[in-house]
Amino acid sequence: MKILVVGKGAREHALCWRLARSPGVEKVYCAPGNPGINRVAEPVAIAPTDAARLAAFAEQHRIDLTVVGPEEPLVLGIADAFAASALAIFGPTASAARLEASKSFAKQVMRRAGVPTAEFAVFDNLEQARAHVAAAKRPLVIKADGLAMGKGVTVCATAEAALAALDETMAARRFGAAGARVVIEERLYGEELSFFALCDGKTAVPLGFAQDHKPLNDADRGPNTGGMGAYTPVPGCGAELEARVMREVVAPVLRAMAELAAPFKGVLYAGLMLCEGRLNVLEFNVRFGDPECQPMMMRLGGDLAEFLLAAAHGRLDPAARPSLSRRSAVAVVLASAGYPASYRKGLPIRITEPASLGDDADAGCYDESSIEVKLFHAGTAENNGQLVTDGGRVLTVTAAASSLALAAQAAYQAAARIDFPGKQMRSDIARRALEGSFISDRLQAGRIGHGS
Ligand code: AMP
Ligand code: GLY
């Protein structure tokens, strides 16, 4: 099987690495790739948003399956373009990708499907939105309706903060056209979790839970980012909770999307909030999470390519599911100084042995008594043979081991051997799970009650 992966981040690096190991895969291409990806896949110099040229490439090179990493090409309709040329692609059509591209659409689908989620209202008019905030008696969250690079959500402690967020979003257009419409919702409290399911339009199979760490700094302080680290599995979130999310969230959403003539194919990523016996959906994404994908791929066994191909062709077997090893995996993101705001590029990256990760044909891996460490590249480039920074999130150091504690230790040991000027990273990825300070018996599936 020949595969084309679309994207250039650490998520796509992890996907290329895993797909290249799938038994039936003879070749992996990646458009456009990066210095790490290019060690496991052949780079293709086409932008992820250039659907017409990507489809022409797939036709010419007899690609059996295209796998899309980021949301933007999906929202712009790459799956529609591929379908028009009868090319197999794993990812939703533009109308199904509205689950991520429009928060009001996602909320309406949840309401229609009976999926537990925060109470909400949608506004196109600033004065009406302000009146709604003034009348509300509880803390609110203001969300730009459209895509805003993960920055369009403001969690507000007071009505004044909510009014200010409305002004920023709707009047000052801080997130551009994405803020022409807002969703105002009730603020929820609890633990956030990411859940992933592979979908083929009618059938879904679970991939499992991971936990992201979105704020820049330790103890969840500082500005929100695309994600500074993740781990999987999440203690206390096992088969029962998974079955419940499949039954109460994934299956009803798939049914609702089919009824809306927008059947959902691809990864359904449910951002969940768990608290005091309640399960709520905060948001949907229509792709693998970044960085959650990286530790997930290190636990995944079996033939990922076959699963994604079956999903693309609408023939997932509901009884089969991708096998995840019992290992734990922890991913730590190394970011540029200044990220998530502005940052410099082109700074030299130094990797000290034995973490010469990234130099061997296997994308950089070594095994130390069953501990496996990989360096997935995101914002990197090569300049006269020197690896340099080329983005906000630069690298994801990911380790898998027999326990969460060992995986975290291995990831941090490897991260310490990588340096570039101004390197930022969180030092507490997976710490709360390790301390057991959030997963307790009340989070067990059987005891989690219905939504708000
Ligand atoms: P979203 O892009 O919708 O996931 O929102 C980004 C972040 O805002 C989430 O990861 C949460 O931390 C936070 N958030 C979103 N909705 C709510 C809510 N209703 N209550 C509390 N926090 C929220
Ligand atoms: N890690 C959050 C996201 O991929 O959207």
Nearest ligand 2 atom to alpha carbon 289:
4
Q: Read off the tokens for 86.
A: 């009868």
Residue 163 lies in a domain: yes
Identify which ligand lies nearest to the alpha carbon of 294. Answer: 2
Q: Which of 186, 217, 241 represents a domain boundary (last residue)? A: 186
- Residue 125 alpha carbon to ligand 2 centre in Å: 29
Residue carrying the six token digits 């009618």: 202
Average predicted confidence (pLDDT) for the chain? 92
Identify which ligand lies nearest to the alpha carbon of 288. Answer: 2
Looking at the structure, tell me whether residues 367 and 417 fall in a common domain. Answer: yes
Taking residues 11-27, report their average pLDDT. 96
Which residues sit with their C-beta closer than 6 Å to ligand 1?
118, 141, 143, 153, 155, 185, 187-188, 192, 214, 271, 282-283
CA neighbours closer than 13 Å in the CB half-sphere of residue 229 = 31
pLDDT at 358 over 90: no
Identify which ligand lies nearest to the alpha carbon of 272. Answer: 1
Cβ 292 under 6 angstroms from ligand 2: yes
Residue 6 lies in a domain: yes
Identify which ligand lies nearest to the alpha carbon of 155. Answer: 1
Nearest ligand 2 atom to alpha carbon 290:
4
Residue 351 lies in a domain: yes
Of 43-52, 272-281, 321-330, give the lowest mean pLDDT range.
Answer: 272-281
Sort 170 into a burial class: Cβ within 10 Å, 0-12 / 13-18 / 19+.
buried
User: Count of domains in the chain?
Assistant: 3
pLDDT at 445 over 80: no
Residues 86-115: tens digit of each pLDDT: 999 999 999 999 999 999 999 999 999 999
Q: Which residues pair with 265 in a beta bridge?
A: 200
Residue 239 lies in a domain: no
> Which CATH number goes with the domain that contains 344?
3.90.600.10
Distance CA 298, CA 421 (A): 28
**Which of 74, 196, 211, 212 is the best mutation target for the ligand 2 pocket, counting ligand atoms within 8 Å of the beta carbon and taking the most?**
212
Better-predicted residue by pLDDT, 109 or 137: 109
**Complete DSSP assignment for 322-382:** --B-S-EEEEEEEE-TTTTS------B-EE-TT--TTSSTTSSEEEETTEEEEEEESSEEE
Better-predicted residue by pLDDT, 327 or 358: 327
Looking at the structure, tell me whether residues 354 and 393 fall in a common domain. Answer: yes
**Nearest Cα residue to atom 3 of ligand 2:** 289
pLDDT at 356 over 60: no
Residue 160 lies in a domain: yes
- Residue 194 alpha carbon to ligand 2 centre in Å: 9
- Residue 153 alpha carbon to ligand 1 centre in Å: 7
pLDDT at 278 over 90: no
Nearest ligand 2 atom to alpha carbon 11:
4
**Which residue range is the domain that position 404 belongs to?**
327-435
Residue 452 lies in a domain: no
Q: Which of 186, 210, 240 represents a domain boundary (last residue)? A: 186
Residues 164-197: tens digit of each pLDDT: 999 999 999 999 999 999 999 999 999 999 999 9
Express as a percent the part of the chain with pLDDT over 70: 93
Looking at the structure, tell me whether residues 48 and 125 fall in a common domain. Answer: no
Residue 386 lies in a domain: yes
> Which CATH number goes with the domain that contains 165?
3.30.1490.20
Q: What is the pLDDT of residue 450?
A: 36
Cβ 289 under 6 angstroms from ligand 2: yes
Query: Could you tell me the pLDDT band of residue 353, with boundaries at 50, 70 and 90?
Result: low
